[in-house]
Amino acid sequence: MTTRSRSTESGLPVKPVYDPEALAGWDPGDRLGAPGAYPFTRGVYPTMYTERPWTMRQYAGFGTAAESNARYRRLIADGGHGLSVAFDLPTQMGHDSDAPIASGEVGKVGVAVDSVEDMRELFDGIPLGDVSTSMTINAPAALLLLLYQLVAEEQGVSGEHLTGTVQNDVLKEYIARGTYIFPPKPSLRLTADIFRYCRTELPRWNTISVSGYHIAEAGASPVQEVAFTLADAVQYVRTAIAAGMDVDDFAPRISFFFVSRTTLLEEVAKFRAARRIWARLMRDEFGAKNPKSQMLRFHTQTAGVQLTAQQPEINLVRVAVQGLAAVLGGTQSLHTNSYDEAIALPSEKAARLALRTQQVLAHETDVTATVDPFAGSYAIESMTDELEFAALELMDEVEAMGGAVAAIERGFQKGEIERNAYRVARETETGDRVVVGVNRFRVDEEEPYEPLRVDPEIETRQCERLARLRADRDDSAVTRELDALRRAAESEAENVLPPMREALRARATVGEVCGALREVWGTHAPADSF
């Protein structure tokens, strides 16, 4: 009987049977180590989930700050461990809700935050000293982090007690998402300023979450996801060192963000390979002595790009498999997507079901009973090695171009991702790739579904709110603080976060602060990919 040949999402061959010969000459001491020990293949902590499960951090944000606040309170009441904030597109791009360019986008894909007043309302009644908050924000990451700190101060919570993560990964915006503002050089300077600021002001805060998720959602394969994400991380480390910081002073607060697909075996191998690559890079290239600097700690989100609008209930199964892959791969926190996200913003019921999926994995299965249950598997260990080797080869290509920024300027990563995305789309169109409910196992008539819709009047109300803020504040104080911010941005030696914080405290808006920086730094014009 002839066995059909298979390959992984990255195009690596999958054998129908793996046997001991697959690991011939294989040294487990070099590749595995113990859980919680270098090279961290088996996980970053010795006990992993055997003492406590991963953080169940559900991503939410839409409409006004008040609406999102209500959703956060319900998620916490339903057993969520941490909050994860989605911001609307104008906020992500550093524009106020009343800017002409923001028209039609206010509150649509996340919550609108224009000032400290919105941030205050977003976390009203939520004790910031007791929750861990992740904010998916990049180009204006410093602003949203400072707004969060200001609101915490109003609650009587000092920066040393705040825990959470700010994504702050602008390089992947040039590669995959496009929500950049400034050119790469000042953007990297801003990243380094955040590292320095948080070391003294918010020492428990994760200062960056280097994101492979958005690279994957743009069409990258697992190998590309790992390679391009870690190449970006290397660039951030070099930037911080060039700014005069010691690697062990900032590297322990670096975290990562990956996708989890339905191809469970390759995803488990991907997470294990990424940990091993990062540990070796940090120890051997950058000389990191602190084991925490060598740990690749990561948040995972299930694959939104694999969800379908057709027969959306099938997405419940997809998300469960993807969540299981993330857990078996050793994630530190997890967001499970809602089954209706391919149609509209998640309904409250769908968001609760997504959280319940994680709770079933944590409390009704035995995957939390032992650390790294796939360790020593002929298939998993072979796939981990092959994925590691392929990712390192691709990272070498980026390095040969001069590093991540130089490759971005040539359009290399974007072009590679687009080619892979086109391959996947063609395979789906021809039926070589089965997508249940889309090109196989379809139904003649879909059940009606009423999606959650954002009130179109939100934009009007948010603009009125901004008008009241500008009428009530001390404009001379705002002008004075924005001028101080411009001077800091013009100086290579000064950290821009302290004057930025004071401008926001004076009730300058997100758009005004970003506008002041645009005047000094300019904006980014992307190169065409090839």
Pair (357, 479) in one structural domain: no
- 232 and 92 housed in the same domain: yes
Residues 181 and 232 both lie in one domain: yes
Compare 80 and 506 and report the one with higher pLDDT: 506
Boundary of a domain, candidates 377, 396, 430: 430
**Which tokens sit at 65?**
């700050």
* Dist. CA 295–CA 371, nearest whole Å: 16
For the chain, give the mean pLDDT.
94
Residue 295: the pLDDT is 98
1 pLDDT above the threshold of 50 = no
Q: Where do we find the tokens 């057709």? A: 310
Q: SS3 for 195? A: helix
Cα–Cα distance between 286 and 281 in angstroms, integer?
A: 7
Tell me whether strands 55-60 and 254-260 are parallel, antiparallel or unpaired.
unpaired
CATH number at residue 78: 3.20.20.240
Q: What is the three-state SS of 244-288?
A: CCCHHHHHHHEEEEEEECCCHHHHHHHHHHHHHHHHHHHHHHCCC
**In this structure, is residue 24 part of a structural domain?**
no
Non-local (6+) Cβ contacts of 155 within 8 A are: 127, 128, 129
Q: How far apart are alpha carbons 75 and 61 in whole angstroms?
A: 12
Query: Nearest-CA neighbor of 185 among 116, 102, 242?
Result: 242
**DSSP 8-state secondary structure symbol assigned to residue 8:** -
**Domains held by the chain: number:** 2
Q: Is residue 459 one of the residues assigned to a domain?
A: no
Q: How far apart are the C-alpha atoms of 210 and 224, rounded to whole Å?
A: 14
Domain hosting residue 484, numbered range: 473-521
Proportion of the chain above pLDDT 70, given as a percent:
98
Spatial CA neighbour of 94 closest among 517, 528, 529, 426: 517
Q: Note the pLDDT tens digit of each residue in 388-411.
A: 999 999 999 999 999 999 999 999
**What whole-number distance in Å separates Cα of residue 180 and Cα of residue 177?**
8
What is the rounded average pLDDT of the residues 492-496? Answer: 93
446: in domain: no
166: buried, middle or exposed (CB in 10 Å: 19+, 13-18, 0-12)? buried
Place of tokens 């914080």: 501
- Are 259 and 382 part of one and the same domain? yes
Report whether 153 contacts 194 (CB < 8 A). Answer: no
State in Å, rounded, how far the first CA of the chain is from the last one. 43
Q: Are residues 312 and 211 in the same domain?
A: yes
* CA distance readout (Å), 228 to 188, 216, 271, 399: 17, 10, 14, 11
- Rounded CA separation 182/353 (Å): 39
Beta carbons within 8 Å of 462's beta carbon, 6+ residues apart: 64, 97, 98, 106, 107, 112, 114
462 lies in some domain: no
Are 380 and 494 in the same domain?
Answer: no
Structure confidence by residue, pLDDT tens digits, 188-226 = 999 999 999 999 999 999 999 999 999 999 999 999 999
Helix (H, G, I), strand (E, B) or coil at 302: strand
Query: Is the residue at 334 inside a domain?
Result: yes
Residue 53 phi, psi dihedral angles, 5° rounding = -75, 175
- Per DSSP, the residues of 39-89 read T-TT-SSSSGGGTS--EEEEEE--BSHHHHHHHHHHHHHTT--EEEEEB-H
User: Is residue 194 within 8 Å of 166, Cβ to Cβ?
Assistant: yes
Separation between Cα atoms, residue 248 and residue 293, nearest integer Å: 6
- Residues 431, 412: Cα–Cα separation, whole Å: 29
pLDDT digits 0-9 by tens, 224-266: 999 999 999 999 999 999 999 999 999 999 999 999 999 999 9
pLDDT of residue 527: 63
Q: Can you tell me the distance from the alpha carbon of 211 to that of 203, in angstroms, rounded to the nearest whole number? A: 21
Residue at 10 is within a domain = no
Token pair in block for residue 461? 């109300």
Global pTM reads 0.92
pLDDT at residue 529 greater than cutoff 60? no
